[in-house]
Structure 1
């Protein structure tokens, strides 16, 4: 246990109330929840967006995925800033930017302004997960880290659920523009709370080893030279792609167009994948902490997710209870992604963990950045020109071929995980 951890404080330093680390972590997790709500929002407004901006699936995929381009592309810089600048300022600025982007997107008169709004949302949200993990690193012992990572992911999934059925109901009642404009207020409130309450590290912790940029850059070079970091990144990206690309955008359209569901019904189904993720993330983290082993949980989760995905997409006529259960179980399995961050912490020196989190989380979100527009492009290539009320309608074959890419990517990552070496929890 390091001097940053609970129970290792010099006698002359002030003690820390037991509730304070949880309060500080919870504000970071709440921001991640808000960012995830914004991430998932386009999935329930596909038809209105296509009509308002007169675009097809490929363009809409890019409009949604520009969030992921910004988020994923900024993860390494965000990780360096978390190491050198501190999570408090990073999270405050991110929340402000995320709220401003939501407002701009809601008011966008044309596609270019809509792109800019989604870009700002992604830039702001980019700080949320890595900043929260940095708070967990600075305020909690390493023996709690995998569980806290899972709990942070669970908070994000709850935000994703809010971006499904509740958002769909609000959009039906108030329209997508008014709803997202109202949601922009959340970013401002979070920024104020984070600035007033969050502190970068425990008051009983030693001063940081550096404040300039040279050491963080050295940490990045160290991380980039580690093959295990790249294997983790590949596995994490593949395990989150079904959630970000399927539940996050194209799953609702598939359920409406192929299975004849209403928008709220379709959103409730894809929400089950997110709920499964919210349930499974803290459980996977807690189990990994308890047994002190990571890879069995990671591999089992990826295999469960792959099997459920294949059954959902390619076995017709499943009874409704089984169909619903597969969404939930797939989310539980794929939620083992949380454990990849525990592995990254254990193989990385403390001064470089922000860079490691940035690389890994960039790849995790990069799965969505890659597959949201890729699936849209594959759908457009199979489109027969059929439209209803100005929105393209795609065939079952088009969806089958597009979604097959998710399963192939996940299978390759599962095979790549066999090259990972087991780590042991640092105590």
Structure 2
């Protein structure tokens, strides 16, 4: 980033001009809560699979596509989001994005056909596109470099808390009130969050006479970041770590567990929420550990190996007790939490004034993994469907799930290769 990435050094003082006392922490907390809300919206379809199939009369492929419409809006605008936050500041952009999320959730809640649901889901994704990059921007604005990895890990913890609330608690709310009423309430929450962001967050004051970066410099920054192989390695690694969590934990895990173990939706959602519990704990712990030992690559290799191993155990060993499978979910999520280190390595391998472009490009790959895997698994399920329907919703056999989910270890293997190709930064800026 440009103005947004000026740091105050390692003194611990807020980086933003004139911001002291409670406001930096309040702004940071609101950024975390917005990311939490966005992640809640991201995974919410996972506990509504049967309801959405029935109410919209669709199969797994279309449902996967409907869920992925969040990512279709989210992923392509990550780089523009970073540049807009650099140019215009976070206050109005984050407030407006939260309002857009709420409006999209309301449209989805009252949609009577799948096309209107597509629109609502797309709007939610467009608003949520500002959550992660916006939260990281607030960390960069308000806090010094030596707190970056830890505070970004805390931000991820809040996001995964949203993932947890989007599982068992949301499943219970859907069972009690129905999915439409529940999402309408979520829409109101988005509007309230937008109002708080507008009231609390402050943009960085610009020096007298300062203007915004010309478009040519923006394009030069993008070209520079994209020409660095380590940027693409970090992006690939981040996508491979998070993609299986978004695909399995964020959509297909609940119906898979209901079919394999014959359990109710709330219990299945409780088990899959351990993906996000592990992620939420793993991100800040691994971020702190990496900063402490001054190493990125070693932790990324170990975390990628854990992600791959847990998926292989889950899919290759039939008859695993649910308690064992749930434990593996948590370990997989913890390994995926190393995504914060892929972001850190990408940042450290590029110039400090190009951080906005780095954040946007890496996060595009991270959410792009989910955007590709969710509908791909749905398509593979439909190819294996034997025609069975219950209460107006398609039912897929256990073997169909295992066949469709076999793509996930392949993705994790790609992540391990990317980790091995990562060049160590020793937690220092390389340019």
Instruction: Give the Å deviation of 1:17.
Output: 2.9
Q: How does 1:412-427 map to 2 (within 5 A)?
A: 412-426=414-428
Which of 194, 203, 206 does residue 197 from structure 2 map onto? Answer: 194
Q: For 1:299 and 1:43, how far apart are their aligned partners in 2?
A: 30
- How far the C-alpha of 1:3 sits from its partner, in A, is 4.5
Post-superposition shift, 1:347?
A: 1.7
Give the deviation of 1:153 after TM superposition.
Answer: 1.0
Q: Which residue of 2 is the match for residue 99 of structure 1?
A: 102
Alignment of 1:197-208 (within 5 A): 197-201=200-204
Equivalent-residue separation in structure 1 for 2:195 and 2:8 (angstroms): 26
Deviation at 1:353, TM superposition (A): 0.5
- Aligned CA distance change for structure 1 residues 389 and 255 (closer, same or farther; 3 Å): same
Are the equivalent residues in 2 in contact too, given 1:347–1:423 (CA < 8 A)? yes
SS of the residue aligned with 2:129?
A: helix
- 2:110 aligned with 1:115, yes or no? no
Separation in 2, partners of 1:267, 1:194: 30
CA contact (8 A) 2:261 2:322 kept: no
**Any idea what the Cα deviations from partners look like across 1:372-403, whole Å, max 9, x if unmatched?**
00000001111111111111111122111111
> Could you tell me how far 1:350 is from its partner in structure 2?
2.3
1:18: Cα distance to partner?
Answer: 4.7
Q: CA deviation at 1:277?
A: 0.6
SS at match of 1:232: helix
Deviation at 1:426, TM superposition (A): 3.8
Residue 259 (1) aligns with residue 274 (2): no
Secondary structure (helix, strand or coil) at the match of 1:73 reads coil
Residue 232 (str. 1) matches residue 215 (str. 2)? no
Which of 3, 7, 18 does residue 11 from structure 2 map onto?
7
Equivalent-residue separation in structure 2 for 1:217 and 1:186 (angstroms): 37
Q: Deviation digits for residues 179-228 of structure 1, max 9, x if unmatched?
A: 00011011111111111111133x6x967975144233322121111111
User: What is the RMSD of the two structures over their aligned residues, measured on CA atoms?
Assistant: 2.1
1: CA distance, partners of 2:395 / 2:199: 49
- 1:324 maps to which of 319, 323, 326: 326
> Could you tell me which residue of structure 2 aligns to residue 383 of structure 1?
385
| C-alpha contact 1:164 1:271 (8 A) present in aligned 2 | yes
Measured after TM superposition, the shift of residue 39 of structure 1 is 0.5
Name segments (4+ residues, structure 1) moved above 4 Å. 13-16, 205-210
| 1:28–1:208 Cα change, 3 Å | farther
Which residues of structure 2 form unaligned runs of 5+? none
1:34 aligns with 2:37: yes
Offset, 1:419: 1.6
TM-score by length of 1: 0.95
Question: Given the alignment of the two structures, is residue 310 of structure 1 paired with residue 274 of structure 2, yes or no?
Answer: no
Report the CA distance between 1:323 and its aligned residue: 2.3
1:134-156, Cα deviation, whole Å (9 max, x unpaired): 11111111111111111111111
Contact 1:57 1:380 (C-alpha < 8 Å) held by counterparts = yes
Q: Deviations over 1:263-320 (max 9, x none)?
A: 0110001001110111111001111111111111111111111111211222122234
The aligned runs of 1:24-423 (5 Å cut-off) are 24-201=27-204, 210-214=211-215, 215-423=217-425
Contact map agreement 2:7 2:145 (CA 8 A) in 1: no
**Equivalent-residue separation in structure 1 for 2:323 and 2:422 (angstroms):** 36
Tell me if structure 2 keeps the 8 A contact 1:294–1:422. yes
Cα deviation per residue 1:145-180 (whole Å; 9 max; x = unaligned)?
A: 111111111111100111111110111011000000
Number of matched residues?
423
Distance in 1 (alpha carbons) for counterparts of 2:273 and 2:27? 28
- More divergent stretch after superposition (95-104 vs 83-92): 83-92
8 Å CA contact retained: 1:216, 1:351: no
Give the 3 Å change call, closer, same or farther, for CA 342–19 of structure 1 in structure 2: farther
TM-score (norm 2): 0.94
Task: Give the conservation status (yes or no) of the 8 Å contact 2:61–2:379.
Answer: yes
Cα distance in 2 for partners of 1:92, 1:357 equals 20
Q: Return closer, same or farther for 1:14/1:112 CA change in 2, 3 Å cut-off.
A: closer
